[in-house]
Amino acid sequence: MKNDLLGKLQHALDGKDAEGTVQEVLRILPADRLVLASSLSVEDQVLTHLLCALHPQPRIFTLDTGRLFPETYATMERTMQRYGFRYEILAPETRELEVMLRAHGPNLFYRSVELRKLCCAVRKIHPLRRVLATADAWLCGLRREQSVTRRSAQRVEWDAAFGLCKINPLIDWTEAQVGEYIRRNRIPYNPLHDQGYPSIGCAPCTQAVQPGDSLRAGRWWWENPEHRECGLHVQGGKIVGDRRP
Ligand code: SF4
């Protein structure tokens, strides 16, 4: 399946813009085998807008870690109202979560990188694995401009970590383009972006940044930069983490 589908998508998506990319993917794949991963970032909001315009029943999932900001949940509600769909909300497995919490307490992530990664695995990676097992491709909001580790990302690539195709329709968009598209189309977005949070994840692991700081400076700020990943995206063998603006 890998080579057939990957080759077909690479050929079909060559030279396509964001909308053309989503259109072509929907032509090639049954809509129920395509999922959009939304962290409610501005990029994911753009993709939600595009996908909802092109298909009446898109599969859009989000990982409810149980520790998100109230503003993020409010953005979920506003987005569903605006576009008339229901997110596939993925929650951690109750038993696995209880075992972790009883062993390590609710704020384990501040104590060590290992415990923080355990929390990310239980609350994010394991639910992500469950949903990606039901799809042949996932749409993501990665942009090359976001970080050095994303510069080699392609419009379509094989995601070896999760065993399916990964499609990045906004791969060559700039931050200014995303903002302009959001404003022009009046797309709902997380109000925390206007309060100094360029990248928004779980509340205990995200803080506002200062002008001039990197976009991800407010994520897991107590760790060394090389550890600040949660395992959602892998580029060239390196995990590059998620982005929840
Ligand atoms: S970002 Fe923090 S609270 Fe969220 S899953 Fe990872 S460690 Fe846990």
Number of structural domains (the chain) is 1
Smallest CA separation from ligand 1 atom 3, residue: 202
How many whole angstroms from 81 Cα to the centroid of ligand 1? 27
- Residue 161 included in any domain: yes
Q: What is the pLDDT of residue 215?
A: 76
At residue 230, the pLDDT reads: 63
Determine the pLDDT at residue 196. Answer: 92
Residue 122 reports pLDDT greater than 90: yes
Residue type, 68: L
Taking 50 as the threshold, does the pLDDT of residue 50 lie above it? yes
Residue 236's pLDDT is 46
Q: Are 215 and 198 in contact (CB under 8 A)?
A: yes
Greater confidence (158 vs 229) lies with 158
Quote the pLDDT of residue 55. Answer: 96
Predicted local distance difference test score (pLDDT) of residue 68: 98
Q: Is residue 209 part of a domain?
A: no
Task: Please report whether residue 210 resides in a domain.
Answer: no
pLDDT at 117: 95
Domain membership flag for residue 245: no
CA distance linking residue 167 with residue 161, whole number of Å: 14
- For residue 97, is it within any domain? yes
Report the predicted TM-score, pTM, of the whole model to 2 decimal places: 0.90
Check 119, 202, 205, 230 and give the catalytic one. Answer: 230
Question: Is any ligand 1 atom within 6 A of the Cβ of residue 92?
Answer: no
Q: From the alpha carbon of 109, which atom of ligand 1 is closest?
A: 7
CB of 181 shorter than 6 A to ligand 1? no
**Structure confidence at residue 202 (pLDDT):** 97
212 domain residue, yes or no: no
Residues in the chain, total:
245
Higher model confidence: residue 150 or residue 113?
Answer: 113
- pLDDT single digits (tens) 166-200: 999 999 999 999 999 999 999 999 999 999 998 89
Residue 157 domain-assigned (yes or no) = yes
Q: Is the pLDDT of residue 151 over 80?
A: no
- Convert the pLDDT of each residue in 89-120 to its tens digit: 999 999 999 999 999 999 999 999 999 999 99
Centre of ligand 1 from the C-alpha of residue 219, in Å: 10
Q: Does 237 map to a domain?
A: no
Spatial neighbors of 70 by CB under 8 A, at least 6 apart, are none
Ligand 1: atom nearest CA of 206 is 1
157 vs 223, residue with greater confidence = 157
Measured distance CA(146)–CA(124) in Å, rounded: 21
- Helix locations, 30-170, DSSP H: 42-54, 70-83, 94-104, 113-120, 126-132
**Beta carbons within 8 Å of 140's beta carbon, 6+ residues apart:** 37, 166, 167, 168, 233
The dihedral sign for the CA sequence 184, 186, 190, 191: positive
Tell the residue nearest (CA) to atom 4 of ligand 1.
202
* pLDDT tens figures, 20-36: 999 999 999 999 999 99
Instruction: Indicate if the pLDDT at residue 47 is higher than 80.
Output: yes
Residues 6+ apart with CB under 8 A from 34: 25, 26, 59, 135, 136, 137, 138, 139
Residue 175 has φ and ψ, to the nearest 5°, of -60, -40
Kindly give the distance from the C-alpha atom of residue 229 to the centroid of ligand 1, in angstroms, as a whole number.
10
| Span 196-239, pLDDT tens digits | 998 899 999 999 999 888 877 888 988 887 666 666 765 544 44
CA of 201 to the centre of ligand 1 (A): 8
- Give the per-residue pLDDT at 36: 98
- End-to-end alpha-carbon separation of the chain, Å? 33
Pick from 108, 110, 111, 116 the residue to mutate for probing ligand 1's pocket: most ligand atoms within 8 Å of its CB: 116
Identify the CATH number of the domain in which residue 43 sits. 3.40.50.620
Domain that holds residue 160: 2-190
Closest approach atom of ligand 1 to CA 124: 5
Q: Tell me how far the alpha carbon of residue 237 is from its chain's centroid.
A: 18
